[in-house]
Structure 1
Amino acid sequence: MLSTVAALLLPAVSPFEFGTLCEVFGTDRTADGVPPIEFRVCGPVAGEPLDTGNGASITPALGLDGLVGADLVAVSATRWRTFPEPALEALRAAAADGATILGICSGAFVIGAAGLLDGRRCTSHWMHVDDLRATYPQALVDPDVLFVDDGNIVTSAGTAAGIDACLHVVRRELGSAVVNAIARRMVVPPQRDGGQRQFVEQPIPQCSADALAPVLEWVLEHLDVEHSVAELARRARMSDRSFARRFVAETGTTPHRWMTLQRVLLAQRLLEDTDLGVDSVATRCGFGSGALLRHHFRKVVGVAPADYRRTFQGGLAIAGS
C-alpha cells in the first residue's frame, strides 16, 4: 500500500528531483481516481530552509520525525556527499520499520551512507555511478538502467529517470490504472524505453508522420493477426522499401520489433486485468503459442508471464502458466 510518502530533503537539495516527488506523490489527483496520498516534506530541522544552489531555497515543513510511519521514504537528490548522522539514523529506522526507500539520482548516496545498499542492486546518474561504486563497494551498481527495483530499495538514474522510478513504485503498489492516470496528467508515458527490464509498461513509440499514424492505429486494433511489411506498406500507400525506411525514421525501430513490443504490452495488460491462461493471452496478442509469448515476454520484460502476473495481479488464479 502507498498511503503515506515522506520526502527526505538534505542540504544542497536538487529542486527538479524534489519537484518530481511533488508531482507524482504530492499532487491531489483523487478526481482522476488516484487514492489520496499523505505527502510529508521532511528535512533535518522543521522550518529550516535548505539551499538549492540555484538562487532559491526549500523549507521542509517537518523534521526527521516525519519519516516515522511512512510507507515510502523518497530521498531527493543532493550535491553533498556527507550527510548528517541523525538523517541517516532516521532513514535506517524507517527501513527497519518496513518502509520502501526510494533514492532519486544522487539520493542513492544517502541510502548508501545509511548502510542500506550493501549487497543490494542499485543505480544513480551515469555521471555518478563510478563514484557510487567506489564509495560503497558492497553495493551492486548497475550503470545501464533508468532505475533498479530491489524490493524495499528502489534507486533511479539522473533527472527525468526519477519520474520513471516514481511511477514504477506507484504501479507496483497501486496498479496500472492509477499510474496511467498520473502519467496522463503529467503528460509523460508510464514508462520510457531505456534498455531496462523492469516490471513496467513501456510507451508506444510516438509517430508524427500523417501517413503512418493511421496504419499504426489499425495494427494496434488487430494485434491478434500477423502483418507483413508489404501489407502495411500498401495501407500506407508506399513501396515496401520506403515504408520500412520511414517507419524506422518515425518510430526508432523496425516494424517487426514495434509489433512485438505492442503485443508484449497487450499481454501485460491482459495478465494484469484478466484471468486468461497464458495460451489464451498469446492468441489474443498474436503470438500464436504460449511458448512464443514466454520467449518475447521474458526478453522485453525480464521475467516470465506467470511471474509477472503473480507480482501485479495476485488475486486471480494463474492458468496455463
Structure 2
Amino acid sequence: MKRKQVAVLIYDGLCLFEFSCVAEIFGLERPEFGENWYQFHTMSLDGKPIKTQYKGNMEADLPILDWHDIDTIIVPGWTHIDQPVPKALASTLAKANTAGVRVMSICSGVFVLAAAGLLDGVAATTHWKYAETLQTRYPKIDVKNDVLFIDNEHILTSAGSAAGLDLCLHVVRKDYGNEIVNKVAKRLVIPPVRVGNQAQFIEQAVPKSKSHAIAPLLDKLRENLSLNYNNEQLAKEIHVTERTFLRRFKEATGTTPGEWLTQERIYYAKALLEQSDLSIDQVAVKSGFGTAMTLRHHFRLKMQISPQAYRKQFSKSVGL
C-alpha cells in the first residue's frame, strides 16, 4: 500500500498550536503501524521558509504548486480573517481539490477554503466567534456553528483550535479504521473522535460562576444519573428557592437543569455503548432515560445517529 501523503500549509504568522495538532497526528513516525503510515510535509506558497506567529523560522518542504503527489492538504487557522487570501493559493487549492486531493481546514483556515470557492453550496464550520463573519462574507456556505467538524468527503472543516484534533483523528479513522485511531488517541490521552458530521456538543462540565453550591450538586447528579429529578427537589438540595436555583444553575452551566441532565446522560450513554455489552434497554435505565425509546429519541436529537449505529462504530476498545 502506498503511503498517504499529507501536507500542511504554512505561512507567515502561522498558528503553532493548530500546526502542532496536525503534526502530532500525521507527522510522527509510528513504526508500530507498519510502513504505510502517513508521510508528512510542510507546504508554503512559494516553497520558502516562513515566520510563525512567534517569529520563529520554519522550513517548507515544497511549494503549494507541487501538490500533485499529495493526498491531503490541511489549512490551519489563517493569519487573520481579514487577511486577503492570495489568488495563487486559492486557485491552486481549487485545482487540487478538483483533482481529488482531500482539503481540510482548522478554525479560521476555513476562510482560505471559502476564498477558493470550495465551500459554495455545502455545510462548513469554524470557531463560533467567526461563524457570523463567514456566513456574511460567503452567503453560499451553509455555516454550522454548533458542531466540532463537518466531513464532506473531500472537503472537511473543523471548529475552534482543539476541534482540529477531533477532525484529524476522524481522518485517521477513515483511512486506517477504529483499532488504529483508538491507539493514536490513547497515546494522546484523549478520547477517539465522535461520528462524522453529527451534531456534536461540548459538555459544559465546569461551572463558570462563583456559585459554590452548584459544583457539588453537579457532581452528585453525575453520580446518580439514573434517578429522576425536578427543579423543586434540586433547589431544596442547595437550600434556595426554585427561582434562585434556576438562575444560579444557568449562571454556572449556561443551560437549564433539564438540558444539562440530558447532555450528561447522553455522555454517559455513549460511554456505556462504547465500553460495555449492556443492551440498549439497560443503557437507557443506567443513563437515566428510563426506556430505550426515550434514549433513542434524545440520542438521535443530539447526535444525529442511533444508539445502535453509534455502538457499531465505537464499541471496540483497543489497549496498547
Query: Do both proteins adopt the same fold according to a TM-score greater than 0.5, normalized to the shorter chain?
Result: yes
RMSD: 4.1
The equivalent of 2:97 in structure 1 is 92
Which residues of 2 match residues 36-115 of structure 1 at below 5 A? 39-46=40-47, 48-50=48-50, 56=55, 58-63=57-62, 64=64, 68=69, 72-76=72-76, 77-78=78-79, 79-84=83-88, 87-88=92-93, 91-92=96-97, 96=100, 99=102, 101-112=103-114
Q: Report whether the alignment pairs 1:131 with 2:137.
A: yes
Deviations 1:34-77 (Å, cap 9, x if unpaired)? x998653222344x13366x68365333115588455x531122
Q: Report whether the alignment pairs 1:299 with 2:296.
A: no
CA pair 222-145 structure 1, distance change in 2 beyond 3 A: closer
The equivalent of 2:7 in structure 1 is 6
- Following the alignment from structure 1 to structure 2, what is the Cα–Cα distance between the partners of residues 143 and 216? 29
Q: 1:44, 1:87 within 8 Å by CA — same for their partners in 2? A: no
Q: 1:131, CA displacement in angstroms?
A: 2.7
- Secondary structure, aligned partner of 2:278: coil
- Following the alignment from structure 2 to structure 1, what is the Cα–Cα distance between the partners of residues 189 and 307? 24
Q: 2:20 aligns with which of 4, 19, 22?
A: 22
- Following the alignment from structure 1 to structure 2, what is the Cα–Cα distance between the partners of residues 37 and 162? 22
- Following the alignment from structure 1 to structure 2, what is the Cα–Cα distance between the partners of residues 276 and 261? 20
Which residues of 2 match residues 285-296 of structure 1 at below 5 A? 285-296=287-298
CA pair 170-199 structure 1, distance change in 2 beyond 3 A: farther
Between the aligned residues of both structures, percent identity stands at: 27
CA pair 154-281 structure 1, distance change in 2 beyond 3 A: same
More displaced 10-residue stretch of structure 1: 104-113 or 239-248: 104-113
More displaced 10-residue stretch of structure 1: 241-250 or 112-121: 112-121
- Following the alignment from structure 1 to structure 2, what is the Cα–Cα distance between the partners of residues 41 and 131? 29
The equivalent of 1:319 in structure 2 is none
TM-score by length of 2: 0.70
Q: 1:8, CA displacement in angstroms?
A: 1.4
CA pair 305-51 structure 1, distance change in 2 beyond 3 A: same
- Following the alignment from structure 1 to structure 2, what is the Cα–Cα distance between the partners of residues 254 and 165? 29
- Secondary structure, aligned partner of 1:270: helix
The equivalent of 2:206 in structure 1 is 206
The equivalent of 1:253 in structure 2 is 255
Q: 1:223, 1:263 within 8 Å by CA — same for their partners in 2? A: yes
TM-score by length of 1: 0.69
- Following the alignment from structure 2 to structure 1, what is the Cα–Cα distance between the partners of residues 189 and 50? 29
The equivalent of 1:194 in structure 2 is none
Q: 1:114, CA displacement in angstroms?
A: 5.7
Q: 1:306, CA displacement in angstroms?
A: 2.9
Q: Which amino acid aligns with 1:92?
A: N
Q: Mark the runs of 5 or more structure 1 residues left unpaired by the alignment.
A: 192-196, 317-321
Q: 1:271 aligns with which of 273, 284, 296?
A: 273
- Secondary structure, aligned partner of 1:6: strand
Q: 2:146, 2:200 within 8 Å by CA — same for their partners in 1? A: no
Deviations 1:114-145 (Å, cap 9, x if unpaired)? 66445532245332333334xxx5xx432544
CA pair 231-271 structure 1, distance change in 2 beyond 3 A: same
Q: Which amino acid aligns with 1:41?
A: T
Q: Which amino acid aligns with 2:10?
A: L
Q: Which amino acid aligns with 2:206?
A: Q
Deviations 1:172-214 (Å, cap 9, x if unpaired)? 63657865875879xxxx89xxxxx735462243125332222
CA pair 108-244 structure 1, distance change in 2 beyond 3 A: closer
The equivalent of 1:234 in structure 2 is 236
Q: Mark the runs of 5 or more structure 2 residues left unpaired by the alignment.
A: none
Q: 1:201, 1:265 within 8 Å by CA — same for their partners in 2? A: no
